[in-house]
Amino acid sequence: MKWLSVAFALVAPTQAALRFGCASLTIQRLDPLVEPGRSPSSHLHQIVGGNAFNVSMAGDIGEQGTCTTCTFSEDFSNYWTAVMFFKHTNGSYKRVPIMANDALPSGIKGGMTVYYTQQDFNSNGNVKMTAFRPGFRMVVGNPTSSAEQTGLRFVCLDNKSTRFPELANFPTKACKGGIMTVHHFPACWDGKTLDPPDHQSHMYNTVKNAFQNSGPCPASHPVRVPQLAYETLWDTAQFASMWPKDGSNPFVLSYGDNKGYGTHADYVFGWKGDSLQRAMDSSCMFNACENGRPLKSQVVTAMNKCAVKQMVNEDIDGWLTELPGHSM
């Protein structure tokens, strides 16, 4: 195994970690990954990233977008999750607004915080991080799951900086500062398949909860890719006065899940050219990666301005008699 030690010696000890904000791009019932071509899709999503987002998406997304809601202006990827609703005891639903993370520049409109990390925030553990390729997509979690899923978590916020404890499902009391949903994606790729029919089997999960070092990749999925994670902060506190008297959780995800085990997230890779690989090969951390060192970046007003038009004509913001797409 002499070649192996040579290979390791050639890997530069980089320590890049990206953490950045993406404003809301759109909230609508579309899912070009799991339900391409279907408008409206089965449930509502909140989507951030590049404006090439559409009912169907194909080809190199990094070459198709003209703007993005993310800090890094060469990142036309799309990132999305289900949407949270409040269910009143009278049976009506109201969409829970999304708040900006206080770890990011102020003024970002809704959206998510996105991470691409290596072994941890300070090291790549001497393992080469291979960026995703054009056409790469993946899903983590499954709306039909009824059991706890590693890396998919809820945090009951005292304030926007609360990070623990991480729960496997919805908090069962009113949370003073809102609820954060966290989605950690697997970080081991089979090295070949861009997007299999199940959108998951090309990946292998050695990721644990929180931002812990993910374990070594198995021979079946040998390529270590950056570990992708999303954080979304939901402003549930504004519903505290309407919390049910019987103490039951009044929040529900847009596919009708009030436990939270079905929490899931989707990723369509769309970084332009080799920009993500260049970042992973550098030693920048968080906002020190901005302003061309090595990634091009943009100001919050430009992030907030990027949007796609509504393609599904339905009310999502009033008091609704049912979740969008869930009529009986």
Ligand X SMILES: *[C@@H]1O[C@H](CO)[C@@H](O)[C@H](O)[C@H]1NC(C)=O
Q: Cα–Cα–Cα angle for 115, 117, 118, nearest 5°?
A: 170
Question: What backbone torsions phi and psi does residue 154 show, to the nearest 5 degrees?
Answer: -120, 140
Indicate whether 283 belongs to the interface with ligand X (CB under 6 A): no
Closest distance of CB 102 from ligand X, Å? 9
Indicate whether 243 belongs to the interface with ligand X (CB under 6 A): no
Asked if the bond preceding 165 is cis, omega within 30° of 0, the reply is yes
Closest distance of CB 146 from ligand X, Å? 29
What's 139-205 look like in SS3?
A: EECCCCCCCCCCCEEEEECCCCCCCCCEECCCCCCCCCCCEEEEEECCCEECCCCCCCCCCCCCEEC
Phi-psi region of 37 (alpha: psi -120 to 50; beta: other; left: phi over 0): left
Indicate whether 55 belongs to the interface with ligand X (CB under 6 A): yes
Which segments within the chain are labelled E, that is strand?
18-22, 24-28, 45-49, 78-82, 84-87, 93-95, 98-99, 112-117, 137-140, 152-156, 166-167, 179-184, 188-189, 203-204, 223-224, 227-234, 251-253, 265-268
Tell me whether residue 78 or residue 119 sits nearer to ligand X (CB atom). 78
Indicate whether 310 belongs to the interface with ligand X (CB under 6 A): no
x/- track of binding to ligand X for residues 61-90 (CB under 6 A): ---------------------------x-x
Closest distance of CB 185 from ligand X, Å? 25
Range 8-27, binding ligand X (CB under 6 A): none
Closest distance of CB 163 from ligand X, Å? 7
Tell me whether residue 22 or residue 157 sits nearer to ligand X (CB atom). 157
Closest distance of CB 302 from ligand X, Å? 18
Indicate whether 245 belongs to the interface with ligand X (CB under 6 A): no
Indicate whether 326 belongs to the interface with ligand X (CB under 6 A): no
CB neighbours of residue 293 within 10 Å: 12
Tell me whether residue 18 or residue 233 sits nearer to ligand X (CB atom). 233
Indicate whether 91 belongs to the interface with ligand X (CB under 6 A): yes
Tell me whether residue 90 or residue 144 sits nearer to ligand X (CB atom). 90
> What is the number of the residue whose Cβ is closest to ligand X?
162
Range 120-159, binding ligand X (CB under 6 A): 158-159
Indicate whether 92 belongs to the interface with ligand X (CB under 6 A): yes
Buried b (16+ CB within 10 A) or exposed e, 257-278: beebbbbbbbbbbbbbeebbbb
Binding site for ligand X (CB under 6 A): 54-55, 88, 90-92, 158-159, 161-162, 319
